[in-house]
């Protein structure tokens, strides 16, 4: 049985590629066979992390137009059965075309009918984009029938009240789990994570990199282990 993971929400800059990389790294560390696909034509963050060996799906044709049929390649790749986990990192610009494609082609239902588990990992954030990301979450949960995992990314602000909101209460029965990427000191953890992502490194690579200080490595290990412990509950 294959697991298909969509990391998706319509707002840009909310950590979709970072969450994709966390999932890839967790599965790699578990010895799972994975294929990661970067579909963001504007920001190929996942593809640039060479250790993850992600594929890039070209969605813009030679005329500069969005080629929706290119999404067919994701489904075809899954049916080649070369991995047990497929991870699709979607960018903000691919959100509407991907949602329309999945809905119109009944792709989720088709994958499930072939005894495949389909997950949607949906980031939400605190701060100014909070309402937009929660709206995106609700819309996705209402539109599809699969396993939903909410990623509460507190980098831009707290989300401690999320589970008390009316929006969450309206969909909580369909939510498999909430993974919290809790807010930590921006002067320590924040700078370490920024250096990690700006260098396109995995956590394992950073822990072996001499340019990271002893305590930077300790903080990165703390962050990684807390995230992995939560992912372990669902995968």
Closest residue by Cα to residue 128 from 165, 95, 158: 158
Mean pLDDT of 34-61: 94
Q: Is the pLDDT of residue 225 over 90?
A: yes
Q: Is the pLDDT of residue 22 over 90?
A: yes
Q: Are strands 85-89 and 3-7 parallel, antiparallel or unpaired?
A: parallel
Per-residue tokens: 79: 């049916």
- What fold, for 3-183? Rossmann fold (3.40.50)
Length of the chain: 235
62: confidence class by pLDDT, cuts 50, 70, 90: confident
Cα angle vertex 20, ends 132, 182, to 5°? 60
Dihedral (CA of 50, 120, 169, 228) sign: negative
**Is-contact 87 121, C-beta < 8 A?**
no
Residue-wise pLDDT tens digits, 84-143: 999 999 989 899 999 999 999 999 999 999 999 999 999 999 999 999 999 999 999 999
How confident is the model at residue 193, as a pLDDT? 96
**Is-contact 46 52, C-beta < 8 A?**
yes
179: confidence class by pLDDT, cuts 50, 70, 90: very high
CA 3 to chain CA mean position, Å: 14
Distances (CA, A) of 231 to 31, 205, 228: 15, 20, 5
**Is-contact 7 133, C-beta < 8 A?**
no
Mean pLDDT of 15-20: 96
Per-residue tokens: 151: 């990623």
Cα angle vertex 50, ends 44, 52, to 5°? 90
Tell me the pTM. 0.96
Residue-wise pLDDT tens digits, 65-79: 889 999 999 999 999
| pLDDT cut 90: percent of the chain above it | 89
Block residue for tokens 């309206």: 170
Domain boundaries, the chain: 3-183
Average pLDDT of the chain, as a whole number: 95
* Integer Cα distance of 12 and 121 in angstroms: 15
Q: Is the pLDDT of residue 41 over 90?
A: no
How confident is the model at residue 61, as a pLDDT? 81
Mean pLDDT of 12-21: 96
63: confidence class by pLDDT, cuts 50, 70, 90: confident
155: confidence class by pLDDT, cuts 50, 70, 90: confident
Q: Is the pLDDT of residue 64 over 80?
A: no
Give every CB contact of residue 208 below 8 A, 6+ residues apart in sequence. none
């Amino acid at each position: 049985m294959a697991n298909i993971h969509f990391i998706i929400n319509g707002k840009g800059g909310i950590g979709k590629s970072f969450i994709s990389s966390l999932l890839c790294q967790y599965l790699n560390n578990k010895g799972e066979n994975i294929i990661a696909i970067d579909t963001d034509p504007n920001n190929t963050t996942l593809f640039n992390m060479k250790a993850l060996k992600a594929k890039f799906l070209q969605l813009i044709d030679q005329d500069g137009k969005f080629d929706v049929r290119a999404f067919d390649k994701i489904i075809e790749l899954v049916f080649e059965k070369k991995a047990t986990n497929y991870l699709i990192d979607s960018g903000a610009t691919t959100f509407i075309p991907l949602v329309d494609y999945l809905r119109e082609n009944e792709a989720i239902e088709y994958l499930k009918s072939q005894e495949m588990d389909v997950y949607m990992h949906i980031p939400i954030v605190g701060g100014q984009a909070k309402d937009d990301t929660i709206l995106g979450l609700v819309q996705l949960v209402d539109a599809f029938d699969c396993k939903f995992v909410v990623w509460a990314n507190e980098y831009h602000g707290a989300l401690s009240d999320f589970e008390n909101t009316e929006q969450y209460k309206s969909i909580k029965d369909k939510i498999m789990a909430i993974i919290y990427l809790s807010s930590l000191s921006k002067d320590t953890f924040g700078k370490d994570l920024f250096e990690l992502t700006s260098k396109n490194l995995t956590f394992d690579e950073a822990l072996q990199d001499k340019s990271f200080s002893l305590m930077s490595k300790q903080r990165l290990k703390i962050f990684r282990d807390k995230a992995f412990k939560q992912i372990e509950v669902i995968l």
